[in-house]
Chains A and B, each alone.
Chain A
Amino acid sequence: MRLVVGVGDLQVSGDPDDSIVTYSLGSCVGVCIYDPVARVGGLLHYMLPESKISPEKAAAYPYMFADTGIPALFRKAYALGAVKGRITVRAAGGAEILDAAGLFNIGKRNLLELRKILWQNGMMLGHSEIGGTVNRTVAMEISSGEVLLKTSGHGMSRL
C-alpha cells in the first residue's frame, strides 16, 4: 500500500508491500528512518522546529514540530520492532526563500533542530538532500529501505 504523509504528519510501517511518500517539501523537512534488519521504516513531515511557539498546536498536532515529531517517529518505529543502533536516518527539505536578512530562515532552523535532536541521542544524519531553494518529494520502500527523491524541475534521484 502507498501511505501518504501530509504536512505535520507521520507514518511507520513494517509491511514489505508498503511505500511511504510525502509531497512537496519546501522549508519543511522529511525525515526517513529505516531499520534494515527489522525492515521497519518511517517518514515524518514536520513544518517548524520548536513546539514552544504554540503548546496548544503541539498538543493537537505533535508531528508539526521537530522537537515533538522526531521522538514520536522513533517511538512508533520501535513499537514495530526497530532497534535504535540499527536505524539509519536520512532527510530531505529545509529549503529557503531568498531572504537577504535571514529573518525567515525556517529551513535552516528546521535542519538545525534535527541535527541537535539526533546528536543528543547519539545518532548521525545519513545521506540527505537539504537546503537550497527547491521543492522535493520523497518516497521510501519498506521492503528495501530505498528512498527515492524527486526535485521539482530536476528529476528523480536516489537518497
Chain B
Amino acid sequence: MKRTREILEKVDALPPFPAVIHKVLALLQDPLVSAERIVEAVRYDQSITANVLKVCNSALLGGTQRVSSLKDALVRIGNKPLIRVILSAGGSDVLQKEVPGYDLERGALWRHSILCALLCESLCDVFGYGRKDKAFTAGLLHDVGKVVLSEFVGREYGKIRDAATAANFTFLDAESGILGVNHAEAGGRIGEKWNFDADLVNAIRHHHDPAKGDPSALLFLMHFSDVLCLTSGIGGGADGLRYNVDHELLKAHGIGSKEFDLGMLRLADVEHDFRGIVAMYG
C-alpha cells in the first residue's frame, strides 16, 4: 500500500533518539548506579540540563533556593526523581509536539505519556517487575507512533472513526484497516530504529494487544497502565477509549474489578504527586 510506505518513510525520517539517553539507560542496567555517574553522562547535553533546571526551579516543587547545576539538582530532588526528570527531558522534543490528527493539543500526548510512565513505575510491584527505570521508559514512549501517524490519521479521521463505530472495531484496528499501519506498530518500528532492546520494543508494539506479543512482565504492566490512563481520560484524544482491555491477562495477574479501581487510585496518586512536573512541561 502506498500510504503504508509513506508512513514508514516518515518513521525513517524521525530524528534519532538522543544518544545521551541511551547512555543513561545503559548505566541504569546497574541498579546501584549512582546519580553522580548519570549526571556525568548528561552534563554536556544542553536541552536536558535546561529542562532539569526548569523543572527543579518550578515553584510547584517548593523551596526557595534556586538550582543552578545538575549537581544542585541532585542534592535538591534526590537520586531517583532526578533520573526520572532526565529521562523525561530526553523524550520531550518528540512528544511535546501538537498531535492534531488525534485532536491532541500541544502537551496533551506528553501529559498522557508522563502519567503513563509514572504509573508503569508504580505498578512494577503488581507484576513483580524489577526494572522501574525501564518501565518508566516504556510508559513514556509507548505512544510515540502517534507522532508519526498524526498527519495521516488527521487526513482520514472521518473514515477511521466511521469504520471503528460502524463495525464496532477498536481505533487501533481501524487505523490498520484504513492506513495499513497502526500507531503501536509504528511505535515498535521507531523503537527498532532507535535501537531499543527487544523487550522494550515488544512492550511498545503490543501495548494494546498484549496477547499477540512475547509474554513479558514489562508488556503486561504497560498494557494495564495504558488502559488505566485511557480510562481516566487524562491527556486523551479523538481515539478516546476505543481500545480493548485484555481482561483474561489481567485476571491471570489477580486484577479484577476492585483491583482495577485501586489502579485508578494509583493513577490519581501519581497525578497528584507530579502535577508540578506535568504542569511545567504540559
Contact = CB atoms under 8 A, between A and B. Distances in A.
B236 A7 contact: no
Contacts of B227: 97, 104
Interface residues of A, number: 35
Contacts, number: 111
A100 B247 CA distance: 9
Contacts of B245: 97-99, 104
B261 A97 contact: no
A111 interface: no
A147 interface: no
A134 interface: yes
B240 interface: yes
Nearest to B170: A98
Contacts of B261: 48, 53, 106
A41 interface: no
Nearest to B169: A98
B161 interface: yes
A14 to B, nearest CB: 27
A7 B243 contact: no
Given A7-B234, A47-B232, A104 B257 contact: yes
Given A7-B268, A57-B265, A95 B260 contact: no
Interface string A88-109: 0000010111111101101100
Contact of A27 (B231, B242, B272): B231
A153 interface: yes
B123 to A, nearest CB: 15
A66 interface: no
Nearest to A50: B261
A49 to B, nearest CB: 8
A104 B257 CA distance: 6
A27 B233 contact: yes
A26 B236 contact: yes
A98 B264 contact: no
B114 to A, nearest CB: 14
Given A53-B258, A95-B233, A153-B157, A48 B265 contact: yes
B257 A28 contact: no
Interface in A45-73: 47-48, 53-54, 57, 61, 64
B230 A26 contact: yes
A97 B241 contact: yes
Interface of A: 6-8, 24-28, 47-48, 53-54, 57, 61, 64, 93, 95-101, 103-104, 106-107, 132-136, 152-154
Ranked 8 nearest A-B pairs via Cβ: A26-B233, A153-B238, A135-B236, A133-B241, A134-B240, A97-B241, A24-B233, A133-B242
21 contacts: A24-B236, A26-B230, A26-B240, A26-B241, A27-B231, A47-B264, A47-B268, A53-B258, A53-B261, A54-B262, A57-B265, A64-B268, A98-B242, A98-B244, A99-B247, A103-B247, A103-B257, A106-B260, A106-B264, A134-B241, A135-B237
